Amino acid sequence: STAKLWGGRFSAQADSWVDEFGASISFDQLMADEDIEGSLAHVKMLQKTGILSPEDVQQIVAGLESIQADLHQNKLHFTVENEDIHMNIESILTDRIGPVAGKLHTGRSRNDQVATDFHLYVKKRLPQIIEEIKTIQKTLVNLAADNVETIMPGYTHLQHAQPISYGHYLMAYYSMLKRDVERFEFNQKHTDISPLGAAALAGTTFPIDRQFTADELGFSEVYNNSLDAVSDRDFALEFLSNSSILMMHLSRFCEELSMWVSYEFNYLELSDKYTTGSSIMPQKKNPDMAELIRGKSGRVFGHLLGLLSTMKSLPLAYNKDLQEDKEGVFDTVKTILPALRVFNGMLSTVKVKKENMYKATTHDFSNATELADYLATKGIPFRQAHGIVGELVLKGLQTGKNLQDISMEEFKQISPLIEEDVYDVLKPEVAVERRNSFGGTGFQQVLAQIDRARTELAE
């Protein structure tokens, strides 16, 4: 036998560089807390079911609690020889309380242990992420409320399309984040299930009580099938997928932010607290944080594809491949939590250059639809009206004239039905205000969205 915890049937020891390759302690020590919690629940169950004596359990609990206290003071030392967090903790426990530590692993395997730790880890982080998203939603709603009547060009194909309210634009992102919250909330359902007691893959002959450990750990459910319990990583995939969609949303906003603070757009200015200078160009104020959030979406998408690829074709039940499930999830948590906080800081300190946004809508043809609609209300079929206005735009582009610059006389030549009120209709703010169909950019509709959002956030 060898010195390993499982060394009984081995006569030769792996070289240390092979051990290094197989070890996960360098990253799964992030679940040390969860591992101890899981062990405490398990050993209490072993006492409750009479599998272990109260004296043994008392010693094990005291040992685990002393390890927990040292963990919180950063006093534990982990080794690669002990491979992963589970065996490291057990080895430390053995050092502290002697051979009775060996009873802790009764009726349990590292396979259900690691799954339990991982579920606990994700379960704890989901509410934190949801809170951070809601903070951004509140910022968006407040900023939208200040900008219901801020007029800006709305884009399709990045071309001026129709004028919109900046508040309306912001509320679009509110809606995206609302779906993100719902996705992370649903993520809880598949995370909140206890694999503990599935043992290696097939359950155990010991009269364990899986409901007891689930209750101890705060899980709402217990996995129904032991094979599924040790090999399911859907909850992690859902987490990575939800995180990817969230980061995709933030990246879109950050892309627009970066454009809009540029000289060419000049719609927004970011606070000095969320921008950086250049080591060579003294004038520079770069939207680094926005770019970095946009850039970090890439690593999160990568983690999703990484785990999907690891899971593809994986036979039941546990395989060591599954050890690859953790780093991407840990890195995703480490990426999205600060990204959400920085995003919120950036958004809540942004300066909106309302006049510039408005100005961008006054020398363009984004009121062309207004004129076509106006002609249509005068009885000209919309298709024909579209053609007429198209020709006016073409002519205007050649002569440097916008639609509002066309004289009444010229209008009358197009149709005698056109009246003085056309000039009002062509104003961007009027165009926005009148788009009062449900969910549209009309001021009333934006206010209604803000009202609904405030009710949702208060729930």
- Active site (catalytic) residues: 157, 278
Helices (H), 349-435: 354-359, 368-377, 382-399, 408-414, 422-425, 428-433
Nearer to ligand ARG, 6 or 186 (CB): 6
When the beta carbons of 102 and 440 are compared against ligand ARG, the nearer one is 102
Residue 114 sits in the site that holds ligand ARG (CB under 6 A) = yes
Q: Which stretch binds ligand ARG (CB under 6 A): 110-118, 188-196, 339-347, 355-363?
A: 110-118
Nearer to ligand ARG, 30 or 388 (CB): 30
Q: Which is nearer to ligand ARG, 14 or 248 (CB)?
A: 14
Alpha-carbon distance of 174 to 137, in angstroms, equals: 6
Q: Choose between 274 and 318: whose C-beta lies nearer to ligand ARG.
A: 318
**Does 90 participate in binding ligand ARG (rule CB under 6 A)?**
no
* Sole window of 64-72, 230-238, 314-322, 340-348 interacting with ligand ARG (rule: CB under 6 A): 314-322
Candidates 33-41, 74-82, 317-325, 428-436; binding stretch for ligand ARG (CB under 6 A)? 317-325
322 binds ligand ARG (CB under 6 A): yes
User: In whole angstroms, how close is the CB of 33 to ligand ARG at the nearest point?
Assistant: 16
What would the DSSP string read from start to end of 110-174?
A: HHHHHHHHHHHHHHHHHHHHHHHHHHHHHHHHHHHHTTTT-EEEEEETTEEEEEEEHHHHHHHHH
Is residue 323 at the binding interface for ligand ARG, with CB under 6 A as the rule?
Answer: yes
Q: Is the peptide bond before 317 cis (omega within 30 degrees of 0)?
A: yes
Q: Minimum distance between the CB of residue 255 and ligand ARG, rounded to whole angstroms?
A: 37
Query: Does 116 contact ligand ARG by CB under 6 A?
Result: no
Which residues are 163's β-sheet partners? 153
d(Cα 420, Cα 440) in Å, to the nearest integer? 26
Cα separation, 21 vs 241, in Å, equals: 28
Neighbouring residues of 157: CB distance < 8 A, sequence distance ≥ 6: none
Q: Does 84 interact with ligand ARG (rule: CB under 6 A)?
A: yes
Nearer to ligand ARG, 92 or 446 (CB): 92
CB of 6 to ligand ARG, least distance (A): 9
Residue 39 found at the interface with ligand ARG (CB under 6 A):
no
The tokens for 334 are 């480490």
Q: Quote the least distance from Cβ 263 to ligand ARG, whole Å.
A: 51
CA nearest neighbour of 147 among 123, 174, 170: 170
Among 9, 77, 320, 383, binds ligand ARG (CB under 6 A): 320
How far the first Cα of the chain sits from its last, in Å, is 61
Q: Which is nearer to ligand ARG, 324 or 364 (CB)?
A: 324
Helix, strand, coil percentages in the chain from 3-state DSSP, rounded to 5: 65, 5, 30
Question: Rounded CA gap, 27 and 80, in Å?
Answer: 11
CB of 306 to ligand ARG, least distance (A): 15
We find the least distance from the C-beta atom of residue 111 to ligand ARG, in angstroms, to be 5
Q: Which stretch binds ligand ARG (CB under 6 A): 298-306, 318-326, 385-393, 410-418?
A: 318-326
DSSP for residue 419: -
Joined tokens for residue 5: 């915890």
User: What whole-number distance in Å separates Cα of residue 2 and Cα of residue 15?
Assistant: 12
Q: Is 112 in the site for ligand ARG (CB under 6 A)?
A: no
Nearer to ligand ARG, 4 or 178 (CB): 4
CB of 212 to ligand ARG, least distance (A): 23
**28: contact with ligand ARG by CB under 6 A:** yes
Q: How many residues bind ligand ARG (CB under 6 A)?
A: 10
Q: Which stretch binds ligand ARG (CB under 6 A): 52-60, 147-155, 316-324, 399-407?
A: 316-324
Give backbone dihedrals phi and psi of 282, rounded to 5 degrees, phi first.
Answer: -60, -25
Can you tell me the distance from the alpha carbon of 237 to that of 245, in angstroms, rounded to the nearest whole number? 12
H or E element, residue 43: helix 32-48
Binding residues for ligand ARG, rule: CB under 6 A, are 24, 28, 84, 110-111, 114, 318, 320, 322-323
